[in-house]
Structure formats: C-alpha cells, structure tokens
Amino acid sequence: MKLKLEGDTEAVLSGVHALQQELNFKLTDDGIPIHIEQADNQLSVSYEDGRAKIVFGEKAGFFRGLGLFFQNYAQKEAFFLEEEPQFDTIGPMFDVSRNAVMRVDQFKGIFRKLALMGFNAAMIYMEDLYEIKNEPYFGYMRGRYSQEELKALDDYADQFGIEVIPCIQTLAHLEEFLKWSDAARLKDTRGVLLVESEDTYQFVKEMVETVSKPFRSSRIHIGMDEAEELGRGVYLNKFGYKDRLELMTKHLERVLEIVEANGLKPFMWSDMFIKLASKTGDAHYDPATEIPEEIIEATPENVTLMYWDYAHTKREDYLAMMGKHKAFGRNPAFAGGIWVWNTFATNYGLSLDASHAALQACKQEGIQDVFVTLWGDDGYENNYYSALLGLQLYAEHAYTNDLDREKVTERVKFITGIEEGAFLLLNQLDAIPGVAKDNKEQTNPSKFLLWQDVLLGVFDKHVEGLDLYSHYQELAQKILAIRNPDHELDFIFDVPQKLAELLSLKATIGVELKAVYDAGNKEGLKQIADQILPEILERAEKLRIAHRYQWLSMNKPFGWEVIDIRYGGLKSRLDTAIHRINQYLQGDIAMIDELEQERLYYHDIKNSTAIGWSSYYYRMATPNVFFHVLPI
C-alpha cells in the first residue's frame, strides 16, 4: 500500500517509518492521503472518497489510529471510528530480572505491536539488570543492559509516544546482587538492604542516578514490595529490634530524598503498608483491613502507591481495595497481570476475567495510571509474546468505557496475525482433566508434570486416575493445526506443541510405573524401561531444542543455562530410572526402593478446584535437599 501523510507530521514521522515493514506500506507522493490533526484527548479515524484522517490527542493515540486505519481499510468501504482514552497512562511491565533478558531487537519488535495497540507507556522491571559503574557484581553474568542499550530502547519507544519507565528495587528483591561477598556491606537479609546504613544510601543514590539516566521519563518505580524480612537479619544482630513500619518509613524517606534530588516522580508497590495495617501483618488482600491513622500519617505524600492484584475476578473486590488505598489521601496507580509466570501455559482463563474486572473498577474509581505485569518467576520458562492477547484486552479497555469483546478478537488477529483461539490453546496446557473451568486457582501441571522425577513422583498422587494421555495428545494436534511456519511468531507455539507431545507420555508415567511395580508385573516394567522411557527421553530432547531456539530468538543467552540444566536433570533422571528398573529385572537388586514408598499428596487439595501448584522447580524435582538457604 502507498500512503501520503498530510498536516503536521514531524512528531510522528520517525515512528511511521519504523512501522513500514510491520504494516507493509510505503510513503509516496501518489499514496492515499492521510490528514493528521492533533486535538486534546480525542482519537478518531475516518476514510471516505479515497482520503483518510486521523485526529489524536497524544502521539501514542496516532499510532493506534494508524493501526485502526489499516485494519478497517481492508474492507474498502468508508468508515468513521471514534474512541475516548480512559487513562492517562496505560502500558505493560516487562520483568527481565528472572533470567529472560529480552534482546534489544526483540524489544523493538514488541514496541511496534504496543504502538499499534495504543499503549503510551512501558515499565522495565530490573532488579540488578542494569550497569552500575562502581558495582561490577551488580548484574554480573546476568545479561544486564548497558546504558547504551537502555537509551536505544528509550529512543525507539519514544518514536511511538511510549514512555519507558525504569522499575527497580530499593529495599528488597535484591538476592541476585546481595549473594556476592562484594555486596556484604549492604546486606540485611538474603534479599533486603541494610537500612540506616550510609553505605546503603550511597548505593541507592548510584542506582537511581544510573538507571534514570538513559530514559526521558521523569518517573521511576522504586519497588519496596514483599520486604517482610526487613530488620530481621544483620540489622537485628547489630542494632536490635525495631518496628518494621518505622524502619520502612524512615528508609522510604531517605530514598525519596534521593529520587527528588534527581528530579524524578516515584511509584512504589503498596503491599507493605497494607500488610502492616492488617491484624496479621501479612494479609495483602484482607477485606477486614482498615488503614489506621498512624500508617496514613507515616506514609510520605510524595510517592504514588501502586496497588497490584492479579487474582480477583469480581469488580467489587478491586473497588474495596482501591477504597482502602484512597484512605491515604491520593489516587493510587494499579497493576494487574497476565499470568505468564511459574508455568509454560499462559493462564488466560484467570487473566482475562481478572483483568476485565480490574479495569472496570479502575474506570469506576478514576484510576489514571494502569499497568499490566508480565512476571517471570522461577526462570521464565514462558515468554512475553504469549501474553499479547491479554495486552490487547488492556489496550481495548483503555480506549472505551464499555468493552466490546469482539473488538479484542479482531484487533489481536490484525496486530499479531494470530487468532485469539490460538492464544487460548496455551491455556489447555494447565487446564487439564481435574481442573475447574478457567483454572482460577492457578494450578500449573505443565510445569510440575514436566520437571517431577519419574521415580519419586511428588505430584503423582494428584493425577491418579486422570486420562492425561488423551488430553495432551489432542492438544498437541490442535496446536499443530493452527501453526503457520511462515508466520514471524510461529516459534512460540513450537514449545507448547512439543511439551504437549511429551506430557502425553510423561504426565502419568510415574503412576503407571508404581502400579505395575506394586502388581509385580515385570513385563509391564520391561515395556516401560525398553519403550516408554526411551521415547520420553527422545521427546524431552526435542522439547529442549525447541525451547532453546525460542529463548535465543528472544533473549540474551544468560539465564538459559538454568533451563538447560533442568532439561539435563530431567534426562539424566530418566536414564537412571531405566537403569534402576533393569537392575531390578536382572536381579541385581531385590527391590526398587523409590517405588516402595507410598505416594502422598504434595499439599492438601481436598477443597480445591485444581490439582496442585508449586512455584519452584527444585521442589518439583525432588523432596530432598537441593540447596540450603541461609536466613541471611
């Protein structure tokens, strides 16, 4: 297609050029005329008599409008579209701290899709993933971004009106830096900084100055969530007990002094203040929590509290917590989530319902800064692209008061080239027989059935009697049927397909192995050792290769070794299982000790609508000591 831009094009021209390949068009003097006009808080796109017009409020709106033009022009009919932006800020938060550090070129590709969706912001969550000149161990061997890389990301996003906001930690969640002896002077507990130490505040100063330098944004997220260990380690040994609220607020005051000295406006996670207000001291979502005046007075006014909530599906739950946040006398920001973490399977059953309810509540309460988190807990076995359907839901909510669900379906197909149904297939990796519709309890069998040991089977009790062979075999065929090798994102379906093929055999093999052993069925044991386990080994290697390709196509290589080691452990243990069975069949051992053990539930699921959950690979792989974590 040929286009000709008219009007004041200077602010958007660079971004338009960047989207030419994405949208397959050229700018020429004989192209379809598109008149560009800027007006406050408006977005309209029209086409009639061979001419188009885009009226927009801010730069990000123009690029959404450009996408809407292309999507609707395909009908070859006149059209007029009008939308109303609902939020001041709308954007995703990318977690690059859990090993998957997205390559700059891939980040740029995602920015192009975010631009067409209409997002005007993005946060990059970096615990230790940026260079600090005087701290060589900060992000060491973790794929940290250089100043030049971060500036390149900011420059690229700015073309589309996307504000990139650094999201860091200035209190907790710094385990990967504090593990080094070089950081001992800064350490209270395993992941928490030593407060009331001048070394700590010099370090925070370096963090804030360094991470803010490459970005145009005057905003920064300073973290401070989940700091339950605050004052319980080195601090306690050195200075004795002090109330956490006092420690938290004094530390926050020092951090805010540094932030303000750099001309920055801070966000922070709100959960610590909400927890400290609860009777138990740890209930982030306790509906009975009332915010006492003491905590309100102790909370500095010059920071925006960010309320995060990913799991509730009723608007009323969000409204109640937003009301508690407003007790602090200011409008909070909000962060929802698309569940891409702790699983291979993006949980759309929960994510879409929870996000819809949350965004309705945000509009009702006038929340203006809205983000959607893409966490990567426990190694990020999933990927950012699998969240695109969820991001599209946020984008469509951001431009209308009442969501048209069909529009989400149409828009995600246009922008990604992938049908909504293809994204929803990912859900079925975890939504297996035995799991209630929509998987509201976040069960993650795609992960624990892959990594659990064949001989030890810590989750075997959870899947007894379930026909998982048929489920995963059918799912593998469904995924294969929707794939298109010529599509740029086809590779994100290769891992789910091969995982489903593997789990069709592996998911319940431990249950079968235990059953034939207990029955004294040596023919059955021989078949498992000679045929089934070798086939599982072969499929595991195919999955590893597909996963490696996916990772290295998107991310820096650092961190892949963690997943590689998991596959190595999986394959090694399968080989040992074959060996142990053959020892028994040959009479070298009188019993297989591991199979003599009674199978117990990993945890109580009597009142659950799911079949279990674990957040950590090492707990799935073995019930034995994997590594010993010291308290400080």
Give the start-to-end residue ranges of the domains of the chain: 2-83, 89-416, 430-467+506-621
Query: Is the C-alpha dihedral spanning 132, 135, 136, 141 positive or negative?
Result: negative
Beta strands 43-48 and 26-27 are unpaired
| pLDDT tens digits, one per residue of 464-511 | 999 999 999 999 999 999 999 999 999 999 999 999 999 999 999 999
| pLDDT tens digits, one per residue of 582-623 | 999 999 999 999 999 999 999 999 889 999 999 999 999 999
Residue 615 burial class via C-beta count within 10 angstroms: exposed 0-12, middle 13-18, buried 19 and up: middle
CA atoms within 13 A on the CB side of 464: 12
| Among the four given CATH numbers 1.20.120.670, 1.10.3210.10, 3.20.20.120, 3.30.540.10, the one describing domain 430-467+506-621 | 1.20.120.670
Backbone angles phi, psi at 124, to 5 degrees: -115, 115
Give the tokens for residue 10.
């200077």
**124 - beta bridge partners?**
94, 166
Largest CA distance in the chain: 86
| pLDDT tens digits, one per residue of 239-269 | 999 999 999 999 999 999 999 999 999 999 9
pLDDT exceeds 90 at position 626: no
CA distance 106 to 153: 10
Instruction: State residue 632's pLDDT score.
Output: 52
Instruction: State residue 40's pLDDT score.
Output: 86
Class of domain 89-416: alpha beta
29-38, 78-87, 266-275, 484-493 — which is least confidently predicted?
266-275
75-79, 196-200, 456-460 — which is least confidently predicted?
75-79
| Nearest alpha carbon to residue 284 among 314, 301, 304, 309 | 309
Domains 89-416 and 430-467+506-621 are alike in CATH topology: no
Backbone angles phi, psi at 93, to 5 degrees: -115, 120
- Helix (H) / strand (E) element for 94: namely strand 89-95
- Helix (H) / strand (E) element for 329: namely none
CA distance 287 to 11: 47
Give the tokens for residue 131.
């260079």
pLDDT exceeds 60 at position 110: yes
Give the percent of the chain with pLDDT over 90. 93
CA distance 176 to 128: 7
Q: Mean of the pLDDT values across residues 117-123?
A: 98
CATH topology for the 2-83 domain: Double Stranded RNA Binding Domain (3.30.160)
Orientation angle between helical segments 104-117 and 388-397, nearest 10 degrees: 40
- Name 519's Cβ contacts closer than 8 Å, sequence gap at least 6: none
Global pTM reads 0.96
CA distance 491 to 130: 28
CB atoms within 10 A of CB 228: 15
CB atoms within 10 A of CB 13: 14
Query: Is the C-alpha dihedral spanning 328, 393, 166, 492 positive or negative?
Result: positive
